[in-house]
Structure 1
Amino acid sequence: MDVNPELYDEGDRERYVAEPPKRVAAPVRTPFERDRARVVHAAASRRLAAKTQVVGPQSDDFVRNRLTHSLEVAQVARDLSRALGCEPDIVETAALAHDLGHPPFGHNGERVLAELSAGFGGFEGNAQTFRLLTRLEAKTFGEDGSVGLNLTRATLDASTKYPWPSAEAEAPGGVHADGSPRVIRKFGVYDDDRPIFDWVRDGVQGRRRCLEAQVMDLADDVAYSVHDVEDGIVAGRIDLHDLDTEAVWATVREWYLPGTDDAALDGALKSLQSVDGWPDRAYDGSRRHLAALKNLTSDLIGRFCGAVQDATFAGSPGPFVRYRADLVVPEETEREIAVLKGIAAHYVMRTDDRLALMSRQRELLAELVEVLTARGPDALDAPYADDWAAAAADDGRRRAVIDQVASLTDASAAAWHDRLVVG
């Protein structure tokens, strides 16, 4: 079945470079189904399996990595988009793509690359995602070179979490989902990627995000708030039946909701504890407790998405697509999500062993960027060596190095460091 043209018009389905019809017989797919397939088959998607989510993917068989997190976000996003009536393939593709630009070691690595590239446009994971989708992940070429996966305008717009350049970004504050401090400005496009970005945002005023991007962002928030707690419980670090609420509330205020008083957070926790399946005893690792934990996870996701769906329907007659409506997240839901994030932050992300590891990771990436910049194209993979050779100035060559390092997984970054730095 094709896309409803009353909801998504020809401009929404347009690609930056027009593509001829397929020459071989193939199943008939909508433009947005084709977008989804392109992201699923992208090399950058496969690399997410070896990139840090909260803790390193090699640290435990159970822990989530960027790929499993993205799949979970996509499932939440697709279900909510279907309930709202927007195109599920657009929102699911944006969810699958939302972390593609993250470098090795998650936000910790992002911080290093941002510092090292401050003089030539900076680095930001979401801007790198846009760059990857529209340039680095080769699928289609135009007159001026690669245009990446050449996704439709609607899908690229849904994938743009921060639709503004670095010059318009606000001062950072708070922390990321992995507990690292926000020390870089959040933005969604580098200056040299503006032509496609401006094409995507044609006709859109200001910083407003399309509804599909709002759904993707909420799904990300819901997924990691619930799943980080789940991972912490299984790892033996969190006991929902025995919480130090004074310490947790301090973390919530410091990291997520400054100024929120104890009474409001106590109320949010009490509401969460009313959910069927909230544990009344310590987790023991048995199949019965594993099943109960999975059911709790499912119930919490349903609770949050249901509350948002009801509030969104109450706030607008719709239709809930593109720029014809906005997602409405109740304050109560925001507090409940923040409580879960605060629990994970306090019991998992502030441990001394993680902080020491993160320091070593930053040193590794900084040394790797330094040696690659000194070695030049002979040390880079072919696509980035080509970018180095095509660059007209040092800034372009340094950007090629940053793009190369950002493409690496945690393990390959360590291996490159051993080969090029340690020797």
Structure 2
Amino acid sequence: MAFPSALSLPGYSAEDTERRLPEHHKNLYRSHFERDRARVLHSSALRRLGFKTQVVSPTSDDFTRTRLTHSLEVAQVGREVGRMLGCDPDLVDAACLSHDLGHPPFGHNGESALDAIGSPAGGFEGNAQTLRLLSRLEPKLILPDGGSAGLNLTRAALDAACKYPWSREDAPEREGVRTRKFGVYADDLPVFDWFREGAPDGQKCLEAQVMDLADDISYSVHDVEDAVFGGHVQLGWVADARARDRVIQWARRWYMPETSPDELDAALTRLERLAEWLPEMTGTRASMAALKALTSQLIGRFSGAALEATRARYGEGPLTRYAARLRIPRETETEIAVMKGIATAFVMAVRDQEPLHANQREMLTVLVEALLETDGQFLDPVFAEDWSLIDRNDDAARLRLVIDQVASLTDSSAVRLHDRITGLNWRTGDKPLW
């Protein structure tokens, strides 16, 4: 019986489905991209996201999203948008499931801490760490020389998961300031150069653009939903001039600095005029359903606008890889930005001022220093093996390995390892009772 293959899909070539380590499969019932998606879905790195912070701690309540639930929602949005454009749905799904794999404990707070302490080894960036996991750290296949091929994903899947296709040194500048985001560390450039072969410099493939949009939509809509449900904000608050100004200022500061306050205010006004806008959530079943209706409306509004604009530019044929660029209307960009501004003003900006978050950064710094000083004693076996193979004089390589170990931890396992190494209870500073 003949089964459909990714090779038969419009827009994908034999080169797109190549893997660095060639594989020969007897079972032909799955396409190359279905295999990619399955490998990410079954990875230990994806499972660990269930215990990593998205916006607030995963232990805060039973409703709040974790990195894992966020990734699943991004995959659902991205899969549908990609399918409507003609992208392979499994390829987009794999990219969306992968997009946050490299994030460390404690969300962006942990990312900042590891970037600071990891500076001598090239710093830390969650997206570059994602590539490292997919291509090296996550165990699936071993290269002939004994090195790891990671999940050995196809060229197109690695490219689709690459949100920032440049190194830190080659990052583009915006108004004379180099962006802090990058997608590859220096020692992972060989695999990066392989899957980017023939791609335009600095341009994301269409599947990566769809993943990026799905991430923005999910981030902006679902984080606000969590904030409302958790009692951090009521959407009616933005009618107050001071609260509204806070939202707009954070939207400009973090997301669209070149945008005028008036343009962002107009975007917020458009959202307030939606029939589904919910000024107050009371916690009743009816109000919870109304909140869900708003999130559904916003997801459809944002993704639909991008689909319509892209089709208007490129027509109705299937669009894949570098055949098109996703078009996002300016009004949609500003509406997404003010939604992010709401979550930032009432949750993240408040959270980042709490002593707990300073303590989290300090704890990760202590962990990295302690793992370096104990000569691999507390490393997981897989990292301990790598440690034994590093030249003892290669400080940068040892630091990178320790950061790999710390970044792989969940919020709770980071605390446990800290307490085990130091003999202290991180939350209280006291010696543990056991």
TM-score under structure 2 length normalisation: 0.91
Q: Does 1:388 align with 2:387?
A: yes
Equivalent residue number for residue 195 of structure 1: 190
1:352 Cα offset (Å): 5.7
Give, as a single letter, the amino acid of the residue that structure 1 aligns with 2:312: A
Q: Is the 8 A contact 1:114 1:184 kept in 2?
A: no
Give, as a single letter, the amino acid of the residue that structure 2 aligns with 1:237: H
Report Cα offsets for 1:94-117 as digits up to 9, x if no partner: 000000001111111111111112
Counterpart secondary structure, 1:168: coil
Q: What are the equivalent positions in structure 2 for 1:230-269 lying under 5 Å apart?
A: 230-243=225-238, 244-269=243-268
Q: Is the 8 A contact 2:172 2:179 kept in 1?
A: no
Q: What are the equivalent positions in structure 2 for 1:219-368 lying under 5 Å apart?
A: 219-243=214-238, 244-279=243-278, 281-317=279-315, 319-351=318-350, 355-368=354-367
Q: Is the 8 A contact 1:161 1:217 kept in 2?
A: yes
Query: C-alpha separation between the residues in 1 aligned to 2:363 and 2:262?
Result: 44
Report Cα offsets for 1:370-419 as digits up to 9, x if no partner: 11001122211111111111113222222211111110000000000011
Equivalent residue number for residue 162 of structure 1: 164
Query: C-alpha separation between the residues in 2 aligned to 1:73 and 1:394?
Result: 38
**Please, what is the CA RMSD of the aligned residues?**
1.9
Higher alpha-carbon deviation: 249-258 or 33-42: 249-258
Q: Is the 8 A contact 1:90 1:212 kept in 2?
A: yes
Equivalent residue number for residue 5 of structure 2: 2
1:273 Cα offset (Å): 2.2
Q: What are the equivalent positions in structure 2 for 1:8-19 lying under 5 Å apart?
A: 8-19=12-23
Counterpart secondary structure, 1:217: helix
Query: C-alpha separation between the residues in 1 aligned to 2:259 and 2:93?
Result: 33
Query: C-alpha separation between the residues in 2 aligned to 1:353 and 1:45?
Result: 26
Alpha carbons of structure 1 residues 417 and 91: separation in structure 2 relative to 1, 3 Å: same
Report Cα offsets for 1:267-323 as digits up to 9, x if no partner: 2122212323112x4211000011111111011000000000010111223541000
Report Cα offsets for 1:176-233 as digits up to 9, x if no partner: xxxxxx9982111111111111110111131111000000001000001001110111
Query: C-alpha separation between the residues in 1 aligned to 2:351 and 2:102?
Result: 28
Give, as a single letter, the amino acid of the residue that structure 1 aligns with 2:138: E
Alpha carbons of structure 1 residues 155 and 56: separation in structure 2 relative to 1, 3 Å: same
Q: Is the 8 A contact 1:172 1:186 kept in 2?
A: no
Counterpart secondary structure, 1:155: helix
1:356 Cα offset (Å): 1.9
Equivalent residue number for residue 200 of structure 2: 205
1:143 Cα offset (Å): 2.2
Equivalent residue number for residue 44 of structure 2: 43
Query: C-alpha separation between the residues in 2 aligned to 1:16 and 1:143?
Result: 12
Give, as a single letter, the amino acid of the residue that structure 2 aligns with 1:40: L
Higher alpha-carbon deviation: 183-192 or 403-412: 183-192
Equivalent residue number for residue 128 of structure 2: 127
Q: Does 1:143 align with 2:132?
A: no
Alpha carbons of structure 1 residues 359 and 325: separation in structure 2 relative to 1, 3 Å: same
Alpha carbons of structure 1 residues 352 and 412: separation in structure 2 relative to 1, 3 Å: closer
1:344 Cα offset (Å): 1.1
Give, as a single letter, the amino acid of the residue that structure 2 aligns with 1:137: E
Counterpart secondary structure, 2:159: helix
Q: Is the 8 A contact 1:172 1:185 kept in 2?
A: no
Query: C-alpha separation between the residues in 2 aligned to 1:325 and 1:225?
Result: 25
Alpha carbons of structure 1 residues 358 and 283: separation in structure 2 relative to 1, 3 Å: same
Q: Does 1:89 align with 2:84?
A: no
Following TM superposition, the consecutive aligned residue runs of length 4 or more in structure 1 with deviations greater than 4 angstroms are 170-173
1:47 Cα offset (Å): 0.3
Give, as a single letter, the amino acid of the residue that structure 1 aligns with 2:372: T
Equivalent residue number for residue 117 of structure 1: 118
1:32 Cα offset (Å): 0.3
Q: Is the 8 A contact 1:387 1:397 kept in 2?
A: no
Gaps spanning 5+ residues in structure 1: where?
174-181
TM-score under structure 1 length normalisation: 0.93
Counterpart secondary structure, 1:10: coil
Equivalent residue number for residue 177 of structure 1: none
Equivalent residue number for residue 428 of structure 2: none
Query: C-alpha separation between the residues in 2 aligned to 1:97 and 1:253?
Result: 28
Query: C-alpha separation between the residues in 2 aligned to 1:260 and 1:394?
Result: 43
Give, as a single letter, the amino acid of the residue that structure 2 aligns with 1:242: W
Query: C-alpha separation between the residues in 2 aligned to 1:257 and 1:397?
Result: 38
Equivalent residue number for residue 375 of structure 1: 374
Q: Is the 8 A contact 1:46 1:67 kept in 2?
A: yes
Alpha carbons of structure 1 residues 184 and 50: separation in structure 2 relative to 1, 3 Å: farther
Give, as a single letter, the amino acid of the residue that structure 1 aligns with 2:40: V
Gaps spanning 5+ residues in structure 2: where?
425-434
1:248 Cα offset (Å): 1.6
The size of the alignment, in residue pairs, is: 411
